[in-house]
Structure 1
Amino acid sequence: MVFNKTMEVEDFQDIIYKKEPNGILTVTLNRPERKNALSPLTLLELWHAVNHAEEDEEIRVMILTGCEEANAFCSGGYFSEDMFEKIPQEYRKEIDIMDMASKKLCLKFWDFTKPIITAINGLAVGGGFTLPLVCSDLNYIAEDAWIALYFIKRAVMTDFATSYLLPLVVGFQKAKELFFMGEKLSAQEAYEFNLGINKVLPKKDLMPYVRKQAFKLIPPKAPSVSIKLMKQAMHSHYREILKNQLDLENKYWKKTLRTKDFNESLKALTQKREPKFIGK
């Protein structure tokens, strides 16, 4: 998927794109008023951020994190009546609004040849955790952060090919427990469950440690070509599987959005109560 018009980094509204002379790029989710929830505009900007980073030979590694003001990494998907209004007109016709599993962005991240390190500096709910699971090569988390896969509470399907990736990471039974129960996990629990977390750190030490790791992945400390080829080799086998799984997730997303349980979950969310599902 290639857009006809390139979105410049200066035009980003939902993310901050900070490139350093040392080869480190930091992409920061920057919507604190909604705890960095992912809107269609956020996903679009992330796609273009990855595209810019791939084409820029000076960039050797990407760090993904959430703004400090949000006290969160990402609270998942953002749904509102006006969520498409901020998308520039020239991009609207190229966006499939039913790509709920974010196939375009997921595959863009999967094909990105440079290493990505995610600093999970606060809560990571739903897509807020499945995004780093699919896009990141190394995940580090603050000890006071927590993770929750609340898809079941919203009566919807999973996204970002997590229905394939999570069983691959933790095994089928543990993945099913996480999906079916939708329980909140502490940072330490996520690490002990081998939930794609490389290390748990005190919050004040998180970004310094992540930056230290980033420097280990770029010259003169690392041969960036070797790292790039290793990543491509590991990702190559899974790409077609991932693509097919994203199509399946989108198909099932459409089914869940038509259920009475989904409508009930929205009402419950608005009324700040537990949903009462009927299985229809």
Structure 2
Amino acid sequence: MEEYENIYVEEGNGIAFITINRPEKLNALNKATIAELHEAFEDCDKDPEIRAIVVTGSGDKAFVAGADISEFAGFSVKEGGALAAKGQQLLFDFVENLSTPIIAAVNGFALGGGLELAMACHFRVASSNARMGLPEVSLGVIPGYGGTQRLPQLVGKGKAMEMIMTAGMVGAEEARAWGLVNHVVAPEELPGFCESLAQKISKNSPVAIAAAIHAVNAGFRYDTDGFKTEIEAFSACFGTEDFKEGTTAFLKKRKAEFPGR
């Protein structure tokens, strides 16, 4: 695995662990970190040995405490638009549509761009001390990395409006009750719990999982017929080696060994 300045990547048993490593900045996302994350996710997605990814923050205080405000405090309207567009393309949309499933292990604060990164992941597990929010309006701006779109999808329009307009934070249990996170565990249990979920995922067909991610995401796009996308993805599965292996293993009552093709 490549060496990075702001993140580190570990791999084992088909699982990649990507850790954002800027603890002195509470793992805030700057341009360099966003670029490195893009590269790491892309490399993991290309590696046939990696069947799932867990992303988290270093230390015990923060997943990602937001974007690095010092980088854009003096931006013009044009520069602000370019910042959001490039960030969404390079990381947030890229993560959401990655073929390899990504679990966000939310350890501590996930604020602004940090919560937006967690929401772009395929699902989220929080430590019991996690705190989540989109505080952008307190800075005179709005979420620009997909927060105004993904938060309503997860918690509903009313709750999303409340979170965005108050700029407040919610705790882990409240986030679970709202559907913002799937599970809440003790901080010391978070890495192992996410690894166990990733291992369950990794036993299934990576081709089918990629197709499922594509089909589910299609249902949230205004310009796409999700049902049509599902039919197309379903039918494509019939031409894969994974389908042949999965059905053969089932009929022969043995464990499937998916080749990922």
Q: CA deviation at 1:239?
A: 5.4
Show the counterpart of 1:15: 7
C-alpha change, 1:41 and 1:173, in structure 2 (3 Å) is same
C-alpha change, 1:233 and 1:37, in structure 2 (3 Å) is same
Q: Does structure 2 conserve the Cα–Cα contact (< 8 Å) formed by 1:110 and 1:239? A: no
Show the counterpart of 1:233: 215
In structure 1, how many angstroms separate the alpha carbons of the residues matched to 2:207 and 2:71? 45
**TM-score scaled to structure 2, two decimals?**
0.77
Q: Does structure 1 conserve the Cα–Cα contact (< 8 Å) formed by 2:21 and 2:58? A: yes
Q: Aligned residues: percent identity?
A: 29
Question: For residues 128-207 of structure 1, what are the structure 2 equivalents within 5 Å?
Answer: 128-134=114-120, 136-195=121-180, 197-207=181-191
In structure 1, how many angstroms separate the alpha carbons of the residues matched to 2:205 and 2:88? 31
In structure 1, how many angstroms separate the alpha carbons of the residues matched to 2:81 and 2:141? 16
In structure 1, how many angstroms separate the alpha carbons of the residues matched to 2:205 and 2:26? 37
- Say whether 1:59 aligns with 2:50: yes
- Give secondary structure in 1 for the equivalent of 2:69: coil
- Cα deviation, 1:159-211, whole Å, max 9, x if unaligned, reads 2222122122222221111110111211111111222x001111111111111
C-alpha change, 1:183 and 1:18, in structure 2 (3 Å) is same
- Cα deviation, 1:42-90, whole Å, max 9, x if unaligned, reads 000011111111211111100000112x62111100133699xxxxxxx
- Say whether 1:117 aligns with 2:103: yes
- Say whether 1:78 aligns with 2:71: no
Q: How big is the alpha-carbon RMSD for the aligned residues of Structure 1 and Structure 2?
A: 2.3
**TM-score scaled to structure 1, two decimals?**
0.72
- Cα deviation, 1:212-271, whole Å, max 9, x if unaligned, reads 11110113xx222222211121123445769xxxxxxxxxxxxxxxxxxxxxxxxxxxxx
Paired residue type of 1:121: N
In structure 1, how many angstroms separate the alpha carbons of the residues matched to 2:39 and 2:33? 10
In structure 2, how many angstroms separate the alpha carbons of the residues matched to 1:81 and 1:120? 24
C-alpha change, 1:81 and 1:206, in structure 2 (3 Å) is closer
